[in-house]
Amino acid sequence: MTEPISNCARFAAQPLAGGGTPVEMWTRSDRRFAPLNIEHCPALLLVAAHPDDETLGLGATASALAGRGVSVQVVAVTDGEAAYPEEAGGRTQLASTRRDELVAAAARLGLARPIFLGIPDGEVTANEDRLQVELEAILAESAPGTWCAATWRGDGHPDHEATGRAAAAASRSVPSVFLEYPIWMWHWALPDDPAVPWDTAARAPLTARDVAAKSAALECFSSQLQRGDGPPLLAPEVIARQMAVGEILFV
């Protein structure tokens, strides 16, 4: 997930401090979403700004697709090495740790080994053109009609938004379905937030098996679940909120 950069306009107005929007505000909301139809998804390219975004945002859907024999290829744009390197042996060590965590999580979701692009954590915006070219090349090698899902362009974290923009641009190069999944939105938004394109949101259908696979995969991200000093990024309330809201995508 990696800590948002504080100069982001949205976080300047509503800094990512404390627990964020309580899970009850989402679960008590009467907002309803159209069901997302994944029946005809031939393959999925699942693009994550940082290792764990893919699992937090779309892990259960990925598991469901894989369970049907649909290829799901995760692409980690950065290694998330800027999360708290001073507590994890430095950026190189944390990058290595987080790659290993993602490989293990993908296996628990039934997915192949992820692709790691190694763009510096916190610098996706500066590398957006390169990222678009790399994603276009991966999509060109993928099965015809492969869907692409990426972190939402409005998510509030600069890396998440730049990843969404690059993936959206890359998806325009091939006939494909493009989806965006929010992560930080669940923290800063409210259920009636006008900054969120609710009319384009759809809910992925999930089974108990898919949700269990997501929970098991999330346990792989030890570096984000525990921290020597201070609260971990994937605090229990963050995980609980993410599991409770399900998997909502902007279509």
Give bridge partners of residue 43 from the DSSP assignment.
Answer: 71
CB of 156 to Zn ion, least distance (A): 11
Least distance to Zn ion from the beta carbon of 184, Å? 8
The CA-atom distances, in angstroms, between 216 and each of 17, 44, 47, 67, 120 are: 27, 21, 20, 15, 28
Nearer to Zn ion, 41 or 119 (CB): 119
User: Does 1 sit near Zn ion (CB under 5 A)?
Assistant: yes
Of residues 1 and 196, the one with the C-beta less far from Zn ion: 1
CA-to-CA dists, residue 156 to 110, 137, 180, angstroms:
30, 27, 13
Q: How many residues bind Zn ion (CB under 5 A)?
A: 5
What Å distances lie between residue 92 and 22, 82, 89, 151, 233, CA to CA?
34, 10, 8, 24, 19
CB of residue 186 vs Zn ion: minimum separation in angstroms?
Answer: 12
Residues 203-232 that bind Zn ion (CB under 5 A): none
Q: Which residue is nearest to Zn ion (CB)?
A: 50
Q: To the nearest whole angstrom, how small is the minimum distance from the Cβ of residue 53 to Zn ion?
A: 4
Q: Least CB distance from residue 218 to Zn ion, whole Å?
A: 14
Q: What is the CA radius of gyration of the chain?
A: 17
* Sheet containing 248-250: order of strands: 34-35, 201-203, 248-250, 178-181, 147-151, 43-48, 71-76, 115-116
The Cα 16–Cα 13 span in angstroms is: 10
Q: Which of residues 2-31 bind Zn ion (CB under 5 A)?
A: 2
- Token pair in block for residue 4: 């948002």
Question: Binding mask 46-75 vs Zn ion (x if CB under 5 A, - otherwise)?
Answer: ---xx--x----------------------
Q: Judged by CB under 5 A, does residue 187 bind Zn ion?
A: no
Is residue 117 a contact point for Zn ion (CB under 5 A)? no
What residues make contact with Zn ion under the rule CB under 5 A?
1-2, 49-50, 53
